């Protein structure tokens, strides 16, 4: 079908932020269709099957379904839940990719979700206030991952201004601070688990950005794990070919290639330094395009 082909082509051409949006939306549509089918036959799908992919507050339940600490960050409760999460993921994702790489985005999405889930489980099992709710509390949504990306972007470029409807231009540091304070104020509300997870994601984003400034990357192990898993699947699908010796253009060609590579890296370093000192608005259209292209590699 042409629609499926178009979606596949858009997914392959899109950057890592758009790909994660496609994945989240696809999973939401799939679970919604299955839920409708079970409901038509009076089977409470969301009460048993869906919960196997949501993150439980109970440690005993988590031991039975440990994968839910990852799958929950791709699940959403309703249309408005996924709509707002994906809008935030798109806005902050584009800014994030101007400052960091696609692999950093991928790693931080999972790191934020893992930290959000861990803090949620920890809080529900430590504070007596949540004790009556542990057995039947489950969490789902990409909010923790989104907030991790938002906070990391704000830490790296705190004075970057975003235009908000009714509020005008607001600096990133103030916008993310408002989000964090809101979560703190609603930590005992009916959606306490979600707000606690947001705080875990915010901690992950701050941890990543500060570590990156000091030359380390706390997402390296996540990306290495994902690359290893992808390598297993790619090797199983790749047909075996006879080994061939390929000769290229010799040392001169290698020298030219390495020289061009060094020039590109030097140009990106120069643009990033300019971005750090003068902000995103100081970049020319060509410099913005260079950053965008580099973020997709």
Structure confidence by residue, pLDDT tens digits, 77-125: 999 999 999 999 999 999 999 999 999 999 999 999 999 999 999 999 9
Q: Binning pLDDT at 50, 70 and 90, where does residue 46 land?
A: low
Q: Are residues 93 and 199 in the same domain?
A: yes
User: DSSP labels for 141-169?
Assistant: -SHHHHHHHHHHHHHHSTT-EEEETTTEE
Contact 192, 198 (CB under 8 A): no
Residue 194: which of 132, 242, 147 has the closest Cα? 147
* DSSP conformation class of 56: E
Residue 127 belongs to domain spanning: 2-227
pLDDT in tens, 138-151: 999 999 999 999 99
pLDDT tens-digit series, residues 191-239: 999 999 999 999 999 999 999 999 999 999 999 999 999 888 877 666 6
- The mean pLDDT value for 239-258 works out to 50
Residue pair 222/110 in contact (Cβ under 8 Å)? The answer is yes
- Residue 259 CA to residue 18 CA, distance in Å, equals 32
Residue where a domain terminates, one of 227, 251, 277: 227
Of 177, 199, 227, which marks where a domain is finished? 227
Same structural domain, 61 and 101: yes
pLDDT, mean of residues 183-192: 93
Maximum separation of any 2 CA atoms in the chain, in Å: 71
| 270 shares its domain with 218 | no
Average pLDDT, the chain: 86
- Residue 100: which CATH number? 1.20.1540.10
Type and span of the H or E element at 250:
helix 250-278
* Pairing mode of beta strands 168-171, 55-56: unpaired
Model pLDDT, residue 271: 76
pLDDT for the residue 109: 98
Tell me what the mean pLDDT of segment 58-70 comes to: 96
pTM above 0.85, yes or no: no
Does 28 lie in the same domain as 165?
A: yes
- Tell me, yes or no, whether 234 lies in a domain: no
Residues 287 and 162 in one domain: no
Tokens of 110: 């999972």
Least confident range from 162-176, 228-242, 246-260, 266-280: namely 246-260
Residue 52 has pLDDT above 70, yes or no: yes
Shared domain for 206 and 247, answered yes or no, is no
Would you say residue 232 lies in a domain?
A: no
Would you state the structure tokens that stand for residue 142, as one six-digit string? 């990409």
> Do residues 219 and 117 both lie within one domain?
yes
Q: Are 295 and 102 in contact (CB under 8 A)?
A: yes
Structural domains in the chain (count): 2
192 and 270 housed in the same domain: no
Kindly state whether residues 91 and 216 are assigned to the same domain: yes
Average pLDDT of 276-297? Answer: 68
- Distance in angstroms (rounded) separating the CA atoms of residues 284 and 267: 13
pLDDT, position 247: 46
Least confident of 35-49, 64-78, 259-273: 259-273
Residue from 175, 139, 173, 177 nearest 158 by CA: 173
Considering the chain, what percentage of its residues have pLDDT values greater than 70? 84
- Tokens for 232? 């297993």
- Token pair for 49: 């099957």
**Tell me, what's the pLDDT at 265?**
73
pLDDT over 60 (residue 251)? no
Average pLDDT (167-176) is 89
Q: What b-and-e string marks burial along 166-202, b requiring 16 or more CB atoms within 10 Å of the CB?
A: eeeeeebeebbeebbeebeeebeeeebbbbbbbbbbb
φ and ψ of 57, to 5 deg? -80, -25
Provide, rounded to the nearest whole percent, the portion of the chain with pLDDT above 90. 61
């Amino acid at each position: 079908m042409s629609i499926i082909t178009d979606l596949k082509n858009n997914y392959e051409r899109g950057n890592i932020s758009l790909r994660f949006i496609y994945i989240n939306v696809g999973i939401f549509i799939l679970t919604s269709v299955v839920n409708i089918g079970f409901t038509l036959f009076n089977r409470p799908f969301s009460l048993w099957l869906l919960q196997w992919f949501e993150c439980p507050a109970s440690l005993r339940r988590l031991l039975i379904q440990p994968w839910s600490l990852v799958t929950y960050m791709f699940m959403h409760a309703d249309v408005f839940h996924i709509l707002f999460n994906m809008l935030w993921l798109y806005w902050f994702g584009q800014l994030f990719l101007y400052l960091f790489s696609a692999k950093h985005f991928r790693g931080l999405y999972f790191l934020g979700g893992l930290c959000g889930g861990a803090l949620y489980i920890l809080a529900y099992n430590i504070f007596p206030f949540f004790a009556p709710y542990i057995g039947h509390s489950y969490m789902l949504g990409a909010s923790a991952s989104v907030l991790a990306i938002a906070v990391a972007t704000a830490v790296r470029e705190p004075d970057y201004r975003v235009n908000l409807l009714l509020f005008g231009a607001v600096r990133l540091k103030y916008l993310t601070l408002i989000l964090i304070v809101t979560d703190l104020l609603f930590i005992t509300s009916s959606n306490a688990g979600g707000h606690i997870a947001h705080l875990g994601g915010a901690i992950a984003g701050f941890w990543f950005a500060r570590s990156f400034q000091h030359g380390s990357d706390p997402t390296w192990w996540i990306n290495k794990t994902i690359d290893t898993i992808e390598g297993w699947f790619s090797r199983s699908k790749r047909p075996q070919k006879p080994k061939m010796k390929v000769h290229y253009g010799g040392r001169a060609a290698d020298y030219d290639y390495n020289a061009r590579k060094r020039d590109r890296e030097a140009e990106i370093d120069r643009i990033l330094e300019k971005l750090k000192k003068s902000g995103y608005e100081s970049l020319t259209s060509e410099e913005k395009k260079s950053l965008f292209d580099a973020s997709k590699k």
